[in-house]
Amino acid sequence: MAVFIPNENIEKNQSFGQAVNKAVKEYIEPELKRLSLKGFSAAGIEILPDRKHKVYLDNNVQVMLEFKNRKVSPSDTGKAINVDLHEIEDVKWHDQKLSKNSAKILVIQFNKDWWIWDADFKKIGGLEEKFRITTTHKIRGGGYLPLEMRKQEKKEFLHGWRTGLEKELSAMWTRHITVSQRYRGVMVYDGNYFDLFTHAQELYVLGYYYSSIIVCRTAAEQALIRILLKVGKGFEIYYPKKKGRKPMIKGIIDLVKTCRDSKLFHGKYPINKTAEKKLNEIAVIANNLVHPKHDLDALDVYKDNTLKCMDNLQYVIKSHLNFIKDTGTVSGYKFSGSAKRLK
């Protein structure tokens, strides 16, 4: 199935952008140079079992489009039609002159914001490994610290908080007045899912359990959006477009349903059943706070629910996302062996 790739991933060489860049560099650019061309909109690469290859460009690439709902009349054959990316279900390179045993790679620069990638390697040796998406990172480890180190860490933690609060109290009050006057009753956060997850942890440490739960829900929604973008289903994050209205992003429950939609993924779902259950639990806990059916309980009652939401979100991030690649966070530390959760 074709994958729709944001141009940002091409520029940053992330996710399927790596595969596109490898194909362009090794196969397409030499052909452009040979033909004295500066660019392309569509390229088809045929690789035979003996590893010889041929590159087809633009008008020489016959593409077959499968639409989600749109119907095309037979009388439209040979005519130019306007196509929006969100109307496309799948894209295939279709040419009867191609060998049935050859591997086929299709690369389309749909517009300035999106690319399309489709590949059928036909089990030709080395191709899957060649276009495998890989990134090397130094990662943070975790585990139990020695007692003396933990005591020192506690001392530095308390000192840091006291010093920081004393310096920041005046500025914090000014910011509080600003947001209470301008944004009272409105939650505004700028950042991806891991930034929000970090905010939720900080709020929990400060004892703001209500806020931590709500931010966890927002982080879960951003994580689901990232997951759908990574599998080339960026347009599925929106509700069906209504005439005269701007596209509206789905809520967490509908995003989870989309990730487990058999018509979209044919059994190869981007999240597993456990993640589905945990994300729905976050949604229920948060919705009961946003739309309470009775007066809210005392703050401490929600402490366990806050931990449950953070644990559930942590499972989704660890199982289905690479927060280091997604956030650009790189640490200079590298730990060997298995890591244990800090307590």
* Residue at 333 is within a domain: no
Domain region containing 321: 147-327
Q: Are residues 187 and 108 in the same domain?
A: no
Q: Are residues 50 and 106 in the same domain?
A: yes
* Residue at 340 is within a domain: no
- CA 61 – CA 88 distance, rounded (Å): 18
Q: Residue 138: what pLDDT?
A: 45
pLDDT band at 341 (very low <50, low <70, confident <90, very high): very low
Contact yes or no for 326/222 (Cβ under 8 A): no
Q: Are residues 249 and 313 in the same domain?
A: yes
Q: Are residues 126 and 152 in the same domain?
A: no
pTM of this prediction? 0.49
Q: Residue 76: what pLDDT?
A: 64
Q: Indicate whether 291 pLDDT > 90.
A: no
In terms of Cβ atoms closer than 10 Å to its own Cβ (0-12, 13-18, 19+), residue 342 is exposed
Helix (H, G, I), strand (E, B) or coil at 51: coil
* Residue at 138 is within a domain: no
191-235 pLDDT, tens digit per residue, is 478 788 888 888 887 788 888 899 999 999 999 998 998 888 888
Residue 174 structure tokens = 């000014």
- CA 242 – CA 237 distance, rounded (Å): 15
Q: Indicate whether 16 pLDDT > 90.
A: no
Sequence-ordered list of residues with C-beta below 8 angstroms from that of 215, at least 6 positions apart, any chain: 187, 189, 196, 199, 200, 203
* Residue at 141 is within a domain: no
Q: Residue 276: what pLDDT?
A: 95
Strands 3-6 and 114-120: antiparallel
Is the model more confident about 20 or about 147?
20
User: Which of 1-15, 70-84, 268-282, 322-336 shows the lowest mean pLDDT across its residues?
Assistant: 322-336
Q: Residue 139: what pLDDT?
A: 43
Q: Indicate whether 58 pLDDT > 80.
A: yes
* pLDDT average, residue stretch 105-132: 86
